[in-house]
A and B are shown apart, each in its own frame.
Chain A
Amino acid sequence: MSKRIQVNDLNVFYSQFKAVEGVNMVIEPRSVTAFIGPSGCGKSTFLRTLNRMHEVIPGARVEGEVLVDGNDLYGPGVDPVLVRRQVGMVFQRPNPFPTMSIRDNVLAGVKLNNRRQSKSEQDDLVEKSLRGANLWNEVKDRLNLPGSGLSGGQQQRLCIARAIAVSPDVLLMDEPCSALDPISTLAIEDLIEELKTEYTIVIVTHNMQQASRVSEKTAFFNIAGTGQPGKLIEYADTAKIFSNPDVQATEDYVSGRFG
């Protein structure tokens, strides 16, 4: 199920502007990797290159290699749609489809792709995904109501259920808790803990306690100044990053001395 990601010499551009420079990284399967760093340092940009969502923005392009189990995502002839079916994504702001019910939101990956499924298969998939996202008990009686009627934390868990319903190998999360209250955040952190037994999870977060709570490895990104490209400063075990990092900038950042 879950896959290993290897990134070699990755540069990311928005038209002429180089946003991220020279990233090398290996992300192990069935683990949680956290990206931390100040705003604008390229964490989210880099995350979006891992499932080719980056190129949705006009003028954006990538140099270098991203290998998922040895297959280059940016090789010739690679279909971004097939990549995204393997590498799911959860966004910063919960974005359930407003025209769909809770049930249809979970089934969106299936229904939007015109794949046919029997009613009972769909019911099973809805229950399994919602249970997986810790949301089943809260919504099981109102599956046919619109998804936009849920609270922010529930909507975000609905989006996670939607992402895991297409059974990806990798789950990318772009600040999934930044719009949520502490209780919902805790619910999602528990969920990440459960999900990592099946998926490779990469999470961008501004909350360093969260990074230290949920992740095995942490990557610290930084930016030299405005207009400069963001760089991967240090990538190591979370315990090491938060106790005795090799680089002074990392220590300054995690201890709150700047940024």
Chain B
Amino acid sequence: MTATTAAAASARVNPLTTGQLPAWSPWAILLGSWVLVGGVFALMNTGGDPADFNIAATLFLGTVLFVVLLTVFSSVAENRRRAVDRLVTSLVSSAFVIVLIPLVSLLYTVVVNGLDRFDAEFFSSSMRNIVGEGGGAVHAIWGTLLITLGAAVISVPIGLMTAIYLVEYGRGKLAKAITFLVDVMTGIPSIVAGLFAAAVFVIFFGPGTYMGIAGSVALSVLMIPVVVRSSEEMLRLVPNELREASYALGVPKWLTIMKVVMPTSIAGITTGVTLAISRVIGETAPLVLTAGITASLNTNLFSGPMTTLPVLVFSQYRSPGIDPTEALDRAWAGALTLILIVMALNLVARLVAKIFAPKLGR
């Protein structure tokens, strides 16, 4: 009696089940496809130099084969819906890996090439009187930090106040015109910003004027629209209920903006400002026109030419002096330093955003 019921239960098929590929199968198929395609290429390369083995084509065609095989296997063993799911999943993952390749490759190249001259001398000496080996970027690091700081000091208040005007006060034609102009400014090529700043400073100080603050002005032309757009988005995200709650307590509008709207959106605004700084810190062309190129350390924004890291990289590559290898090494080390500065800036911004973000939960 019990035996027959057990047999009947095992014979009955649960209608909710379907065939399923084991969890390891996508990885096995991927590996198998690579090995298969690699084998074909190896056969084609028989007798030739092993260095001629086409690894890029192996990976590419192997991945294509993997996508096809996985979809086919899945549609046979599972069902159509799962096959489509697996197809899209593998395409999306491949796209992700493809996006990562240039980024990882770039970081790898810069780190490997930059480490050669990433030493104490690089951070303690300038390029003054250096034509061959040695020398450093201390003047360019100072130049980068000061000119970018100058640009931030000019752009952040103007950009933030413009955003506040647009969100809290702007009505009608003026606000529309400002939004339109900011959009146009976002698209200005950086060399045009450089020419503009150079022209302005020529008016006041005569031709051939190079100074750090001119570079800051050129950079702020590029930076202001980015700050306006990102801060505007962040301020719009602040719920109107909070503004009304504040008004209902008898708080004037300007204090509501300063003490309720700004603190609520400060995390996003900080991120936006950091992105804007990262956008301009790597500019070269406008700075060559406005801040000039120099080999000496100059920490005065208002007098004499200043060099920034991108300009140093450019000038080392363009006019390497008597020892081109040394100059190239300095250029790579400069690029690595610039990346590290941007990275440090992003970390600081994240920290600030984390500290000031509205705290949720209990």
A159 to B245, Cβ gap below 8 A?
yes
- Nearest residue in B to A147 (C-beta to C-beta)? B359
A146 to B360, Cβ gap below 8 A?
yes
A91 to B247, Cβ gap below 8 A?
no
Task: Kindly state whether residue A112 has any CB partner on chain B within 8 Å.
Answer: yes
A88 to B249, Cβ gap below 8 A?
yes
Task: Kindly state whether residue A85 has any CB partner on chain B within 8 Å.
Answer: yes
Contacts known (A58-B171, A95-B239); A162 close to B249, Cβ less than 8 A: yes
Contacts known (A112-B255, A112-B260, A159-B245); A146 close to B250, Cβ less than 8 A: no
CB distance from B53 to the nearest CB of A (A): 59
Task: Kindly state whether residue B259 has any CB partner on chain A within 8 Å.
Answer: yes
A91 to B362, Cβ gap below 8 A?
no
A188 to B124, CA, bound (A): 68
The interface residues of chain A lying within 8 Å CB-to-CB of B360 are: 98, 146, 148-149
Number of A-B residue pairs with CB-CB distance less than 8 Å in the complex they form: 93
Partner of A93, one of B171, B241, B252: B241
A85 to B248, CA, bound (A): 7
B245 to A97, Cβ gap below 8 A?
yes
B90-109: CB near A (< 8 Å → 1, else 0) gives 00000000000000000000
The interface residues of chain A lying within 8 Å CB-to-CB of B243 are: 56
A52 to B246, CA, bound (A): 13
A163 to B263, CA, bound (A): 21
Task: Kindly state whether residue A137 has any CB partner on chain B within 8 Å.
Answer: no
CB distance from A70 to the nearest CB of B (A): 20
A95 to B359, Cβ gap below 8 A?
no
The interface residues of chain A lying within 8 Å CB-to-CB of B263 are: 99
Contacts known (A56-B244, A91-B241, A112-B256); A99 close to B251, Cβ less than 8 A: no
Q: Which residues of A contact B (CB under 8 A)?
A: 51, 53, 56, 58, 80-82, 84-86, 88-89, 91, 93, 95, 97-99, 108-109, 111-114, 142, 145-146, 148-150, 159, 162-163, 166
Q: Which residues of B contact A (CB under 8 A)?
A: 171, 239, 241-252, 255-256, 259-260, 263-264, 356, 358-362
13 CB-based A-B contacts, threshold 8 Å: A53-B248, A84-B247, A86-B250, A95-B239, A95-B242, A97-B260, A98-B359, A108-B246, A112-B255, A112-B256, A112-B260, A159-B245, A162-B245
